[in-house]
Amino acid sequence: MRRTHTAVGAASAAAAVVLSLSACADQGRADADTLVVTDTMSATSAPIYEEIYDACAAEVGMQVRANHVAGSGLIATVLQQASSRTLPDVLMLDNPDVQQIASSGALSPLGDYGITGDGFPQGVIDAGTYDGALYGIAPVVNSIGLFYDAEALTEAGLEPPQTWEQLRAAAAELTTEDRYGIAFSATNSFEGTWQLLPFLWSNGATEGDLDSPEAVQALELVDALVADGSASASVVNWSQNDVNDQFLAGNAAMMVNGPWNMPSLEAAEGLEYDSVPLPVPAPGDTLVAPLGGEAFTVPDTGDPDKMARAGEFVDCVVGGENQLTMATGRGAVPADSAVAAEAARTNPTVATFVDTVQTARARTALLGPDWPRAATQIYTAEQLALTDTESPAEALERVAGQD
């Protein structure tokens, strides 16, 4: 389905957001009727969440104080707070971090508060589960797909690619003197790993066997897109934001990216775009993409009564109507499958990602807290291959041998 998007008026200024972690340290001195929530929301998203927090706190007979912090330093601070008994009452974590924090004993099982995740895709449950118990639940999730310039594909007489062979052919056909056929992130960070995972996993490769033939084939595909000029060699330096900027500037006809970019795409003057799930190795194969999203948890603060209220609060925050509100405001997908289907009926672009998250996989599903090591190995191999330092097979063999 094709849609033309025009520029929209400037949004009203977002409310100021507290970015300091110091406010978290006084959690232990909070009033008995106040829940302290620590999340990683930006200035844009914070007002959406604060409205939901206020409503849910009132529903459980409490007040709420929200601290919005940068995610980069959160884990070290949380571990320190756990040892000093100054954890907040409710804590938001990026889903790959839930198992690490749960393994430290800092979190309480959500089942203690009647939260089971019924109706949520298995990937969402896996992402919040440690040692058989659910510790985190994400109200909205995301993954990645293939965005494309609809006008460019029409002019080239192409349909959106569905297989790897079609992707290579389309990327080559769409490449011109002033435009690459495709853009993606292959940076030396977890973003580079995130964008390579759908190709690895959909081909049957796993992070536990990185030098397998299936893993080599996946890296060879991405390497070939750069080698034949369909993608810029600069992808090794591009973040996902950079990729979106390249697409908006008309420097790429297709891009691998996530639904969080939809607000900027919608605002682009005259851009005619659409999205489809990422291509799979062969017709009939199942797409297995990584699952993104932040999970709400209830830390073990040593105050059973307040923890029970915090559990009620989390149960409210992740409710269906609140999922829709968060998803609309952030360019995300409601985690509950039935609510996600409702969102898809009103937004065809969201529908692409609703389909993808139903089979998406939690990054920690296989290796648990050891996931960061594998993620580092994956982006290291990709960097080695795409910079022609080593072949894809050599690069993967190298990292697979690392402890």
Tell me the per-residue pLDDT of 286-319, one tens digit each, with 9 for 90 and over: 999 999 999 999 999 999 999 999 999 999 999 9
What mean pLDDT, rounded, does the chain reach? 91
Rounded Cα gap, residues 273 and 341, in angstroms: 22
Rounded Cα gap, residues 276 and 230, in angstroms: 19
Structure tokens at 19: 């970015």
Closest listed residue to residue 327, CA positions, set 273, 318, 72: 318
Lookup result for tokens 């990292």: 399
Does the pLDDT value for residue 247 go beyond 90? yes
Using CA atoms, how far residue 283 sits from 123, 181, 217, in Å, is: 23, 22, 16
Does the pLDDT value for residue 24 go beyond 50? no
Does the pLDDT value for residue 27 go beyond 70? no
Report the pLDDT averaged over residues 98-108.
94
Half-sphere exposure of 349 toward its Cβ, with a 13 Å CA cutoff? 26
Radius of gyration of the chain (CA): 21
Q: pLDDT tens digits, residue range 1-22?
A: 333 333 333 333 333 333 333 3
- Secondary structure letter of residue 250 according to DSSP: T
* Model confidence band, residue 30 (pLDDT cutoffs 50, 70, 90): low
Q: pLDDT tens digits, residue range 319-331?
A: 999 999 999 888 8
Instruction: Give residue 15's pLDDT.
Output: 34
Q: pLDDT tens digits, residue range 162-187?
A: 999 999 999 999 999 999 999 999 99
Instruction: Give residue 403's pLDDT.
Output: 64
Q: Looking at this protein, which amino acid is placed at residue 357?
A: V
- The gap from C-alpha 324 to its chain's centroid, in whole angstroms, comes to 17
Kindly write down the DSSP assignment for every residue of 162-190, as one continuous string. -BHHHHHHHHHHH-BTTBBS-B----SSH
Does the pLDDT value for residue 25 go beyond 50? no
Structure tokens at 138: 């994400």
Kindly write down the DSSP assignment for every residue of 56-108, as one continuous string. HHHHTT-EEEEEE--GGGHHHHHHHHHHHT---SEEEEEGGGHHHHHHTT-EE
Instruction: Give residue 347's pLDDT.
Output: 83
What percent of the chain stands above pLDDT 90?
Answer: 81
Does the pLDDT value for residue 59 go beyond 60? yes
Lookup result for tokens 């992707």: 167
Beta strands in 49-169 (DSSP E): 63-68, 90-94, 107-108, 129-130, 133-134, 140-141, 145-149
Domains of the chain: 31-142+292-358 (3.40.190.10), 145-289+367-400 (3.40.190.10)
